[in-house]
Amino acid sequence: MDSILFETFLLLLALLWTSARSEPTRPEQVDCATQELEELDELFLFEGESLWFILDEFDQDNTFTWFWNSSQDILQLSSEETNSVHAHGPALFVLNITSGSSGCFLAWEEDSEGSVIEHYVRVSVVPEDSPKRLYTVEDSDSTIFIFCPRHVRDTCHLNGTLSWYKGSALLAGQHKEHLQVQASAEAQGRYDCVCTWTHQHQLYRTVGSRLLRIKEQSVPLSVRILAPTEEVQLADTGASLLLNCTVFCGTDLPPEQCVARWHAENSDLNSEGYNQSSHVEPNSSKQTIVTGTLSFRRVLPAHFREKFYCVGTRRYGDSVSITVHLKPRPSVASLAAAGTCVFLLFVLMAVMVKCFAVDLVLLFRRLFPFRLEDAGLKMFDAYVVYQLHSQDKLIEEALARFVSQDLPHVLEDKCGYKLFIHGRDDLPGEDHVELVEERMRKSRRLMVILTPGSGSEVTDTYQLPEGYDWQVGLHQALVHRDLSVILIQLGNTSPREYSHLPLALQHLIQRGAPIRWPQEQCTTCVNSRFWKKVRYLMPATPVTTYDMSTL
């Protein structure tokens, strides 16, 4: 008895479950206006057209129930073929549509576990020339492809024949899902993709319209990366960072055909910690410039070992890229240290140049010898002038040894210079005044030998013939500026003793201190400090040696 009651109870539950599945609950409302555009299939048809619509995504094993929010009430669609609006599984049929058969349609897709997925379709009746159903195609390529709408293509895949019309004229032989058109002014206009299909032995038509507009041909320029211009970008560890990739793709080009993106060699830029965005740079010259921005939430040490690529791509065109490395920004302390090092280096170089200027000039002359233009016009490198008499016997002997031995031995024998020394090179019987003037004009330097007490002697004998060479030399050096003067001091002389010299000579001493001859050192060592200073003031290259007969 108990088993009979239990079996009866199970039978009643099965009947209730079957009735519940066969008669689903009617939805309270079917409102397409509340749906997102991505989740809504919206179709615009003209009156008299027919629709055979199949859901884009569905499971063949699930059951489907359709509801129609007509102008009167929410109706559940049947599968009766006699009704102009009916449904079969995932397919919706609206035959010979009128304004009364438009509205919002809802499909309940129910799986074996009772879960329901909702699909919304909105069908509207509009005039044939309505912009809502007239899809616009704008393109500037030489060859343009016009594609048939999806709901027309799907219908012809099941059962139908596809044809293309230009205006009201049939395009013979055009039965593909896309139409290839060569860009021209005559090619513009309305194109209709018509699918003729059969249902229950009746012919129906579904139409998809396209309006073609030819845009101005874009200038085919090469893709260029405008930024970044440097491969190394400075960044602060732990701080946020923005990297901009700015790409120029051409002139009057649709922005969607120009792409600026960032890529990394070993990192996923779509992961947490990064963010990529893109925007079109506004400009008044119709140039298509797009900037892709890569955002770092926080710069990590690993980022300095990564390679980032700014990539610019144009649709149906070329692609360019540039590699970017991140480098830690130097701190203030390191910049100050670097600046201090550079400053000390410059100071050291300045000190070395000042201390070794003479040695550097002599080295440069030896490595890169050159000859002045006026060298061939001169006979002597230096005219040596000195005071013949002195109150000090030792000074007079030192002067005689210096002028007759040391000076010619170093400058003439070792360095190749040609000197005119009064008393040695003058010819017997020659007029002294004419001799001095001629030799002064043929000399490149005036070498003045100063001795203690020479000032008073020069003052006393300034008008004497032996002091005439002093007059001519100082006049040439100060008035005509034809001669450069080399002052050599023999013996120790205080600055006050120079007051006895002629004013012209005192002026020369104020311009450059005399070179002191160190008698206690090697007097003929050509590399001594004294002779280096004398060679520094002498001409860089000795004059050509002439035979004395030419004088």
Tokens 């980022």, located at residue: 303
Is 245 exposed, middle or buried, given 0-12, 13-18 or 19+ CB atoms closer than 10 A? buried
Tell whether pTM > 0.85. no
pLDDT, tens digit, for every residue of 48-74? 899 888 888 888 888 898 998 876 678
- CATH code, residues 27-125: 2.60.40.10
Domain positions in the chain are 27-125, 134-214, 224-328, 332-363, 373-550
- Beta-bridged to residue 196, according to DSSP, are 161, 205
Nearest to 539 by CA among 416, 386, 356, 406: 416
- 535: confidence class by pLDDT, cuts 50, 70, 90: confident
Q: Which CATH number fits domain 134-214: 1.10.3720.10, 1.10.150.130, 3.20.20.70, 2.60.40.10?
A: 2.60.40.10
pLDDT at 24: 54
How far is residue 353 from each of residues 349, 357, 365, 505, 528, measured CA to CA in Å?
6, 5, 16, 30, 18
Whether the ω angle into residue 220 lies within 30 degrees of 0, i.e. cis, is: no
CATH architecture of the domain covering 224-328: Sandwich (2.60)
* Cα–Cα distance for residue pair 133/127, rounded to 1 Å: 9
Percent of the chain with pLDDT over 70: 80
pLDDT, tens digit, for every residue of 180-201? 888 888 888 889 999 999 888 8
- 18: confidence class by pLDDT, cuts 50, 70, 90: very low
Residue 157, classed as helix, strand or coil, is helix
CATH top-level class of 373-550: alpha beta
pLDDT at 263: 93
User: Which are the contacts of 77, defined by CB distance < 8 A and separation ≥ 6?
Assistant: 66, 67, 68, 83, 85, 86, 87, 92, 105
pLDDT, tens digit, for every residue of 72-100? 678 888 888 888 899 988 899 999 988 88
What is the total residue count of the chain? 551
When mean pLDDT is compared across 26-30, 98-102, 260-264, 479-483, the lowest value belongs to: 479-483
pLDDT at 20: 44
Res. 463: pLDDT tops 70 = no
More confident: 471 or 372: 471
Domains 224-328 and 373-550 share a fold: no
pLDDT at 155: 86
* Cα–Cα distance for residue pair 214/467, rounded to 1 Å: 103
